[in-house]
Structure 1
Amino acid sequence: MGRYFRRKLLIYGVTFFIAVTINFAIPRLMPGDPVARMLNRHSVSNSESAAALRTYFEDVFGFDVPLWQQYLNYWTALLQGDLGVSVFAFPSPVSSVVLDALPYTIGLLVPAILLSWIVGNGLGAMAARSKWLDNSVLPLGYLLTAVPYMWLAILLVWSGGVLLDWFPAARGYSLSMQPNLSWAFFVDLVHHWFLPFLSLFIVALGGWAIGMRNLVIYELESDYSNYLQALGAPRRLVRRYAFRNAMLPQISGLALQLGVVVGGALVTEVVFAYPGLGSLLLNAINNQDFFLLQGILLFIVIGVLLFNFLADVAFVLVDPRTRLGLEGGQS
């Protein structure tokens, strides 16, 4: 089993290296000049002052050296935990800007992913055993899966935030409040959090319900289920085995869906003007902020790789056949 995880870590390491290299290249392929944008923000009209400021900003951002040296400097700084200085929030470091927004994105993603996975699997398993529930869950599940995150987010903003005025339509907390550890701020935070969370939860729910429903039906019609029933095993026991075997592909599917859900979360944050990585990413693109863009994408890459690795570990721990196969392969 140790050899298996070492091989997995090597694969994730190579993936991380390629992702970081692409992360370095993409912002520099974008049109625009971040230094020129900085000069425009400072409204510099004198040519000598503009030249001096350009030299200063190019030195700060490391644009005064060849591209290959920028790449080596990027890796050196990255290994030291230095993500550079933000153009958009100059002179704040990128790590500080990203860490301020990261809790909002995690607060959306983790509950939406876990709750949609748990509830969706439960509904799908029940739909496989109930004809009435199957006739209602299956069409609704297909409908929810086809709904784009952005469209549903806009619909929730219009209905819940504008038409009914039950929830705030934008921001992470009220303008009249400052972040603190008080109960009033927590309630206000949850009040603003609910609609973005609901949009992510609803779309992901349908896919998990359909997947589990189909897997449970397949397991109930398999040879081992028919054999158990022929031996007189209780129906509940057969269903339990079917559910456990159907869960294994769902664990793998959870890792595969993480990238899609993360992308949906970023778009949802833009729609709700939620102060997470999505809104920050939009500001970074609009301001040609290379370092902030790299920092955000780096955190996303690390998060997706980490969750995929945890899903691999969970799969090995849940499935005894996988453990036996790994142990047998090492002996």
Structure 2
Amino acid sequence: MRQYFGRKLFIYGLTFFVAVTVNWLIPRFMPGDPVASMVARASISQPEAVAAMQAYYTDLFGLDQSLISQYFNFWAALVTGDFGISIWAYPKPVADVILGAVPYTLGLMIPAILLSWLVGNWAGALAARRKLLDNTVLPVGYILTATPYMWIAILLCWGFGVVLGVLPVAGGYSFALQPSWSWEFIGSLAQHWVLPFASLFLVALGGWAIGMRNMIIYELEADYSNYLAALGAPHRLIRRYAFRNAVLPQITGLALQLGVLVAGALVTEIVFSYPGIGSLILKAIQNKDFFLIQGTFLFIVLGVLIANFIIDVVYVVVDPRTRAGMAGAST
């Protein structure tokens, strides 16, 4: 067990190093000058003042140093938890900007992913057992999973926001309120959460249902299922084994979804003007904010690696074949 997880930790550590290095390189190969864009927003007409501000901020952000020096300074700051200062939201630190958006993304994505996974697997398992339900779940699942997030988000905005007028279509809460623990703010937060959640839930639901339905049918036709049936095993026991094997790929898919949830649903958050990480990434790219891009991508890399490590642990617990393979390798 120690050897297995030791190898995994080494692989994850190497992956983290390479991914963070690529993450650092990407903004620096983007066209444009982030400091020039920042100074342009100040609307200063005097050339001397513009030049002085550009020199000041270039030195402040360390962009006047060589790429090698910037790279080592980046790692030195990263070890201490310093992600730098945001160019777009200056003078806010990058960590504060990201932490302000993370609760919205987590509160939106975690319920959407987990509930769609549970309901989708349940519907797919039922569809694999009942022909009448299969004729309904399969086409509906294909329609949902083929529907773009932005299209269903726009439909929900039009239906519930414009036609019925029962739900808000923009923002994370009412623009007339300030974040607080009051019931008025919590109610406004919940109202603005419904439509983005519904768009993410519905699209993901179809994919989980189709995946579970197809995997269970495959497992029910496998040799071990036919062998159990020939021995006279009850159908419920055969289905139980089929479900346990079919759910393994679904667990892997769930881990990948949870790993990238900190990235948010970029298109969905843009459609609803939802103040999550997805919208933050778009603003960082539009404003050429090197440090905010690095910080948001770093959250995504960590999320993917942590989720995959957790799923490795879950696989050892859920799948006895993994433990048997580890025991064989140790001997």
- The TM-score normalised by the length of structure 2 is 0.95
| Whole-angstrom CA distance in 2 between matches of 1:321 and 1:195 | 42
Report Cα offsets for 1:130-186 as digits up to 9, x if no partner. Answer: 101100111111111111112221221222222221211010001122111223322
Unmatched 5+ residue regions in structure 1? none
Asked whether the equivalents of residues 88 and 284 of structure 1 are also in contact (C-alpha less than 8 Å), the reply is: yes
Q: CA deviation at 1:193?
A: 0.7
**Which letter does structure 2 place at the counterpart of 1:152?**
I
**Which letter does structure 2 place at the counterpart of 1:140?**
V
- The question of 1:328 aligning with 2:328 is answered yes
- Within 5 Å, give how 1:106-255 maps onto structure 2: 106-255=106-255
| Whole-angstrom CA distance in 2 between matches of 1:173 and 1:208 | 30
In angstroms, what is the RMSD of aligned CA positions? 1.6
**Which letter does structure 2 place at the counterpart of 1:137?**
V
Asked whether the equivalents of residues 260 and 304 of structure 2 are also in contact (C-alpha less than 8 Å), the reply is: no
Q: CA deviation at 1:299?
A: 0.9
- The question of 1:71 aligning with 2:71 is answered yes
| Whole-angstrom CA distance in 1 between matches of 2:67 and 2:317 | 45
Other-structure match for 1:302: 302
| Whole-angstrom CA distance in 1 between matches of 2:232 and 2:238 | 10
**Which letter does structure 1 place at the counterpart of 2:37?**
R
Other-structure match for 1:100: 100
Report Cα offsets for 1:259-307 as digits up to 9, x if no partner. Answer: 6766671221111100111111121122111111111111111112211
| Whole-angstrom CA distance in 2 between matches of 1:310 and 1:212 | 21
**Which letter does structure 1 place at the counterpart of 2:73?**
N
- The question of 1:313 aligning with 2:308 is answered no
Aligned residue pairs total 331
| Whole-angstrom CA distance in 1 between matches of 2:261 and 2:91 | 32
| Whole-angstrom CA distance in 2 between matches of 1:146 and 1:131 | 23
- In structure 2, relative to structure 1, the CA distance for the partners of 1:260 and 1:204 (3 Å cut) is farther
Asked whether the equivalents of residues 200 and 261 of structure 1 are also in contact (C-alpha less than 8 Å), the reply is: no
| Whole-angstrom CA distance in 2 between matches of 1:98 and 1:183 | 25
**Which letter does structure 2 place at the counterpart of 1:86?**
S
**Which letter does structure 1 place at the counterpart of 2:301?**
V
| Whole-angstrom CA distance in 2 between matches of 1:161 and 1:270 | 16
Identical amino acids, percent of aligned pairs: 65
Unmatched 5+ residue regions in structure 2? none
The worse-fitting range, judged by mean Cα deviation, of 226-235 and 311-320 is 226-235
User: Secondary structure of 1:118's match?
Assistant: helix
- The question of 1:59 aligning with 2:59 is answered yes
- The TM-score normalised by the length of structure 1 is 0.95
Q: CA deviation at 1:326?
A: 0.9
Other-structure match for 1:266: 266
**Which letter does structure 2 place at the counterpart of 1:179?**
P
Asked whether the equivalents of residues 110 and 261 of structure 2 are also in contact (C-alpha less than 8 Å), the reply is: no
The worse-fitting range, judged by mean Cα deviation, of 262-271 and 202-211 is 262-271
Asked whether the equivalents of residues 262 and 303 of structure 2 are also in contact (C-alpha less than 8 Å), the reply is: no
